[in-house]
Amino acid sequence: MPLAALAADETTDHLQAELANGDAQFVLAQQDAQALQAQADRAAANDRMIAVLRSEAMRQKELNLVANGRAMEEIANALANAARADGDLNARNELAIAQIKAASLIAIADANLANGIMLAQTKGRTDEEANSRAQSNFLHQLANFISGQQAELNMANSKEIGQNMADAIHTPAIAQEQNSEAMGADELLVADVDLAAGEIAAASDVSSEGGTAAAAELAHAASSRHNSHVRAGVP
């Protein structure tokens, strides 16, 4: 049959065939649309899952950074306290040493004075008494200086050394803890960005694959089906 005749073929059988073909194509289009939608849903679910996993990894990294920073700060704080305690102990030792030295000097001074007094009383050596008194006064003053001002200076120096050591240990750890918290905040921001990106990608999957492509195919099939129904006079 010539092409013109085929194009003009309006027999009942031909119209019924077109009608059946249009209905079949529409059913296939519906199935394809459902398949595309299912594929889009799976892709969206995968994007969301990947985003969640990435986000959780970043959140865990943030927790680890903060935990490590705090742990290091706690260790440094303990070491700093030990350094201060060591400084205090050294200060107490300085005081004890000064008191021992002072007591020794006073004992020598008192013994010399007693000997000078005895010589003055027994042998008339008043010069020995005067000399021993002068030495005693000097040694008592020296003992007071050693156990007082000098001891205080040595104690303050020991405490300052301990504090300086504590600061040298603790201050960098505090800075590291703050840096870890800042880095953790950055990782948390990345986690939120990953999660948001996953939602955007999922929405794009549903829109492009499950929506646009499926709708286009379904619309084309519906149009063909409508035309075949019109030609066949079927509502």
- Report H helices in 206-232: 214-232
pLDDT higher than threshold 70 for residue 3? no
* Of 41 and 221, the one with more pLDDT: 41
What is the average pLDDT score of the chain? 77
The reported pLDDT for the residue numbered 217 is 60
Structure tokens given for 200: 């955007």
Mean pLDDT of 54-62: 72
Rounded-to-integer distance, Cα 107 and Cα 114, Å = 11
The reported pLDDT for the residue numbered 31 is 74
Mean pLDDT of 7-23: 63
Q: How many CB atoms lie within 10 A of CB 21?
A: 13
pLDDT higher than threshold 70 for residue 189? no
- Contact assessment for residue 225 and residue 24, using Cβ atoms and an 8 Å cutoff: no
pLDDT in tens, 103-135: 999 999 999 999 999 988 998 888 988 999 999
| 108, HSE (Cβ side, Cα atoms, 13 Å) | 14
* Of 180 and 74, the one with more pLDDT: 74
* Of 160 and 188, the one with more pLDDT: 160
Give the H/E segment covering residue 149: none
Q: What is the DSSP letter of 148?
A: I
Q: What percent of the chain has pLDDT over 90?
A: 28
The reported pLDDT for the residue numbered 134 is 93
Binned at pLDDT 50, 70 and 90, residue 5 comes out as very low
Rounded-to-integer distance, Cα 99 and Cα 87, Å = 18
The reported pLDDT for the residue numbered 93 is 93
Nearest to 177 by CA among 67, 74, 80, 69: 69
pLDDT in tens, 123-181: 888 898 899 999 999 999 999 999 999 999 999 999 999 999 988 888 888 888 777 77
